[in-house]
Amino acid sequence: MDIIPSFDLLDGKLVRLRQGDFEQKTEYDASPLELAQELEASGIRRLHMVDLDGARSGRPANLHILAEVAARTRLQIDYGGGLRSIPSLKQVWDAGAMLFSVGSVALLAQDEFRAWVEKFGPDRFLVGADVRDRQLAVHGWKEQTDVSVFDFLKDMFKLGIKQVSVTDIERDGELSGPSIELYRDILKAFPDIQLVASGGISDVADLEALHGLGCAGAIVGKAFFEGKIPLKFFSIFSKA
């Protein structure tokens, strides 16, 4: 299981939002490049980069940070935020991302998303499902849908998508523990899925539980930045 630190970028700085709320923001002083190099040295292989400026503006806005980290580390970076068109995907690809991290578009613009998958291939996408009560929320979690996460994942499988991240919105940034039952049910329904857990991860015990379920990865944000999970533990699960 890969531990995947999350770099949420706003105005070129590392931040964390509580449940996606821009008004509940915590800034961190660390340099994205220096921290990425430290993570790589510790054995981390992947990085989740979220362009919050891009999410608000509709086009990637932190490509310079992506390009610098991609050029000076060997981390496999998935990049999301502002990916609204094939040209924006190409920009991100050219800057060094290995995976496109997309969410709402996969549900709300299915024909367009299908064209993206046909052009770049399903293995280039990490599709994010943000859920509340097992139903998808879109547009930065502000709009609740009645679409079941299980129906959504079934549609993604039809397109050949295997890598998905599932975030329990109500646990995000709360350090309240991950949605173990939800992930267990998803893995039971889709045994071939490469499931990346996200939201609520607070300590090493949470990582052990997700590893035991068979998750392919776990995105860690607040717990890492606030020292709840020491860096020395990150590579243990990647080697397991």
One-letter amino acid at 112 equals E
Give the per-residue pLDDT at 70. 98
- What one-letter code names the amino acid at 166? V
**Long-range interactions of 226-232: CB distance < 8 A, separation 24+:** 226/175, 228/175, 228/202, 228/203, 229/201, 229/203, 229/204, 231/38, 231/39, 231/42, 232/42
- At residue 139, the pLDDT reads 79
Residue 223 has a pLDDT of 85
Taking only the tens of pLDDT, the chain with its 240 residues reads 999 999 999 998 999 876 666 767 788 888 999 999 999 998 899 999 999 999 889 899 999 999 999 999 999 999 999 999 999 999 999 999 999 999 999 999 999 999 999 999 999 999 999 999 999 998 777 789 999 999 999 999 999 999 999 998 877 666 678 999 999 999 999 999 999 999 889 899 999 999 999 999 999 988 888 888 888 777 666 654
Does this model's pTM top 0.85? My answer is yes
Domain holding 175: CATH number? Answer: 3.20.20.70
- How many Å apart are CA 21 and CA 160, to the nearest integer? 32
**Predicted local distance difference test score (pLDDT) of residue 213:** 96
How much is the pLDDT for 209?
Answer: 95
Task: Label residue 184 exposed, middle or buried (CB < 10 Å: 0-12, 13-18, 19+).
Answer: middle
Q: How many domains does the chain have?
A: 1
Contact indicator for 193, 217 with CB cutoff of 8 Å? no
Give CA torsion, residues 160, 206, 142, 186, to 10 deg.
30
Residue whose entry in the numeric block shows the structure tokens 């046909």: 118
* Residues assigned a catalytic role: 8, 130
What is the per-residue burial (b if ≥16 Cβ within 10 Å, else e) of 100-117? bbbbbbbbeeeeebeebb
Residue 192 belongs to domain spanning: 2-239
Distance CA 234, CA 39 (A): 9
* Helix segments in 45-85, DSSP class H: 52-57, 63-72
Query: What does the pLDDT read at residue 238?
Result: 60
